[in-house]
Structure 1
Amino acid sequence: MIAGHRGAASLAPENTLAGFKKALQSGVKWIELDTQLSADNTPIIFHDETVDRCTNGNSRVADLSLEQLQALDAGSWFSKEFSGERILTLEQTLAFFMENDLNMNLEIKIHHAHQVQPLVEKVAKVLAKINFPNEKLIISSFSESALEHCHQVMPDIRLGYITKHNPLPMLEKLKSVNLYSVHLDYKILNQKMAKEIIQAGLKLVIWTLNDLQQASKFRAWGVDMIITDKPDVFAQA
């Protein structure tokens, strides 16, 4: 399976409606994206701790209200074509995914430990409100405590552990959250590691692979999902 990274990060500004539409047009059925809280505790779709790189603003996401965040231009940094693109709420994004029969790999983006509980609980409320199908969702995070809290408040949701390091020492600890998948930086994956992850009964996801020539190797190792900035290239292969 192919998943568009933050939508289609090579084609449109990341984590925006334009990016999700580009991924959809590419033919993929999975999209990876990030959520964190605004200052007034609304889950929004954004990756960085600050808005500086991907908008015309200059502040921490956590210091801006939803109204302030949605007043920013989240597209012009990528190209003039996307001028006026706005930061989305999780609720708006879930509605778009449901309308278009898309699957979501939602990363719980934790920049500081105190963010875990409020973010997870707000995400759980929005998912329940929208009634997003569990079978079309994986919630993932680098944060072990976020995964633990997700399991407590959303025990039926599939959970993925994201890491840049060998995940094998962590798998025993994460048994308590009934882990579904491991999401690895493709650069650290080797065939032995892949085999051990699969033998542990886990799905194997890699990010962010943009070289199509390497895809067949990873598929041969048993990788279940490839997250890429170039869903248009990978989906047609």
Structure 2
Amino acid sequence: MITGHRGAAALAPENTLISIQKAADAGVSWVEIDTQLSADGIPVVFHDETVNRCTNGKGKIADLTLAQLKSLDAGSWFGEAFTGEKIPTLSEALDTCLALDLTLNLELKIHHEEHTAPLIDAVVALIKEKNYPIDKLLFSSFQKPALERCQQQMPEVRRGFICEVWNDYSLTSIAASQPYSVHIDHRILTPTIAKSIKDAGYVLKIWTLNNVEKAQHFYDLGVDSIITDKPDTF
């Protein structure tokens, strides 16, 4: 039921290989990470549009080559023990997940609409090149066009729609991409919303819950999966 968020974001610098390892050490079977493209078109694992918060560098991921990104320290901001940790390529992260027997919730991090097609094309090409096991993968995104493109290019991979708002039209609006799951901000999930999502036949995931005392409440609402920074606690 527990998915480690950005690896295990409370235990190690988010979206790094050591963070994925920490999630596995905590005993989870699912991990969530983010991917976007470097300036030279390589899928890397990173959440923010810029490297400013989580490295010792500055600038947008989309403006920096893989070599420039690999030159950055992506660990010391979190703690001295993680100094020298690198931004992983998606290829490296996939290998790590496979080695640790983790199922991957891969968020396609799209900061600008024009990045949608290049990112998905590159990710799909990589998954096919590696012959990555489909049962160990789920694509997720806030962007419906991204999920629809995933469906067109690799329909056999499960898709999850991420949202932080929900209204009467939400279920209708996501139907075209035929998602497997809905990933909703736990702060907006009500019994009525939970019931509508479950009644529609979707797997229900919430993000990012770090208060373990609230877990039972969400379980009672029918939540199937909790995405958390603290997989060890849960």
Taking structure 1 as the reference length, the TM-score comes to 0.97
What is the CA–CA distance in structure 1 between the aligned matches of 2:130 and 2:119, rounded to whole Å? 17
Q: Displacement of 1:136 after TM fit?
A: 1.4
What is the CA–CA distance in structure 1 between the aligned matches of 2:48 and 2:113, rounded to whole Å? 15
Taking structure 2 as the reference length, the TM-score comes to 0.98
Q: Contact conserved, 1:34 with 1:108, CA < 8 A, in 2?
A: yes
Secondary structure at the counterpart of residue 184 of structure 1: strand
- Matched to 1:204, the amino acid is L
Q: Contact conserved, 1:95 with 1:130, CA < 8 A, in 2?
A: no
Q: Displacement of 1:223 after TM fit?
A: 0.4
The answer to whether the aligner puts 1:143 opposite 2:128 as a matched pair is no
Secondary structure at the counterpart of residue 40 of structure 1: coil
Aligned pairs for 1:1-237 within 5 A = 1-166=1-166, 168-234=168-234
What is the CA–CA distance in structure 1 between the aligned matches of 2:218 and 2:168, rounded to whole Å? 18
Q: Contact conserved, 1:183 with 1:207, CA < 8 A, in 2?
A: yes
Q: Contact conserved, 2:37 with 2:44, CA < 8 A, in 1?
A: yes
Q: Displacement of 1:169 after TM fit?
A: 1.5
- Matched to 2:223, the amino acid is V
5+ residue gaps, structure 2, are none
Q: Contact conserved, 1:11 with 1:22, CA < 8 A, in 2?
A: yes
Deviations 1:66-115 (A, max 9, x none): 01001100000001100000000111110111111100000000000000
Q: Displacement of 1:168 after TM fit?
A: 4.8
Secondary structure at the counterpart of residue 182 of structure 1: strand
Q: Displacement of 1:27 after TM fit?
A: 0.4
- Matched to 1:64, the amino acid is L
Q: Displacement of 1:145 after TM fit?
A: 1.0
Secondary structure at the counterpart of residue 169 of structure 2: helix
Deviations 1:167-211 (A, max 9, x none): 651222322211111000000001111011000000000000000
Q: Contact conserved, 1:54 with 1:77, CA < 8 A, in 2?
A: yes
Question: What percentage of aligned pairs have identical amino acids?
Answer: 52
What is the CA–CA distance in structure 1 between the aligned matches of 2:155 and 2:167, rounded to whole Å? 22
- Runs (4 or more) in structure 1 with deviation over 3 Å come to none
Q: Contact conserved, 2:21 with 2:100, CA < 8 A, in 1?
A: no
What is the CA–CA distance in structure 2 between the aligned matches of 1:103 and 1:61, rounded to whole Å? 26
Q: Contact conserved, 1:3 with 1:30, CA < 8 A, in 2?
A: yes
What is the CA–CA distance in structure 1 between the aligned matches of 2:119 and 2:83, rounded to whole Å? 29
Secondary structure at the counterpart of residue 34 of structure 1: strand
What is the CA–CA distance in structure 1 between the aligned matches of 2:186 and 2:154, rounded to whole Å? 28
What is the CA–CA distance in structure 2 between the aligned matches of 1:170 and 1:197, rounded to whole Å? 10
Deviations 1:98-145 (A, max 9, x none): 111100000000000000000000000111111221111111000111
Q: Report how many residues are paired.
A: 234
What is the CA–CA distance in structure 2 between the aligned matches of 1:64 and 1:2, rounded to whole Å? 34
- Matched to 1:91, the amino acid is S
Deviations 1:132-171 (A, max 9, x none): 2111111100011111111111111111110100165122
